[in-house]
Amino acid sequence: MTRSVRRTRRILQVTGVSAAALLALSACSSSDDSSTKSDSSASASSSPKLSGTVTVFAAASLKESFTTLGKEFEKAHPGTKVTFNFGGSDTLAASITGGAPADVFAAASPKTMKIVTGKGDAVGTPATFVRNQLEIATLPGNPDKVSSLNDLTKSSLKVVLCDKTVPCGAAAQKALTASKLKLTPVSYEQDVKSALNKVVLKEADAAVVYKTDVKAAGSKVQGVEFPESADAINDYPITLLKDAPNADAAKAFIALVQSAEGQQVLTAAGFLKP
């Protein structure tokens, strides 16, 4: 056999081995791609598409920010709808323990949340998602020159407070007690929005409400800060309810509230970070 023939045969053998290796690699790659696609498809199918109504019971002071988050949630999850019941936390808690159908409860104080957890109507441990601080709301321009909590004790002023059973009312009483001040309001209101509305309608000269409510009211009222409010800051807990009709969507809404996006909406409204 000539040298030329032997060299040609070796080239053919090497070429055959290379071709076989390429075919094997191609088959392996194809198998991996198929496996990846299959895994991805399985992962997608394992995350159920959210739908239906999410019913949220929330403290009245959360109205503006939660309404915004509700719209964001519906936009992110087509086919869902978020409905709210805003009011005094104690009233909402009583409704939940009384059997009112709801998915999520966001209270303005741990004390009112305990009404629900104490009856075993919550899932897991409620999480604090924001905090809120009190402020005095006066008529626009502050015509009565209110500059302190002590000024509210003047007999010439018509002052409104939240009811003592409501978180904003309990916080106001705490601040007044710490300051050794006695205040007799013209009325006690069942939630913070009702108290603020008395000033907006000029039925009262001032009200002790949350900073978030003063901010939400815009030019309709003027806010006056007072140092005693630092000793009466309320934590806001949120929880999934035990008999939630739409638990999956409820969990997703709670996740939105606790997310960076949710926190941005809440802090923009004047809430403090937990």
Is 187 marked as a binding-site residue? no
In 3D, which of 52, 89, 101, 91 has the Cα closest to residue 238? Answer: 89
Is 159 marked as a binding-site residue? no
The identity of residue 263, as a single letter, is Q
How many residues are recorded in the chain? 274
16 SS3 class: helix
DSSP result, 182-239: ----SEEESSHHHHHHHHHTTS-SEEEEEHHHHHHHGGGSEEE--GGGGGSPEEEEEE
How many CA atoms, within 13 angstroms, populate the side-chain half-sphere of residue 180? 0
Is 229 marked as a binding-site residue? no
Is 38 marked as a binding-site residue? no
Residue 162 Cα to chain centre, angstroms: 22
Annotated binding residues for molybdate: 61, 89, 192, 210
**Which residues does the annotation place in the binding site?**
61, 89, 192, 210
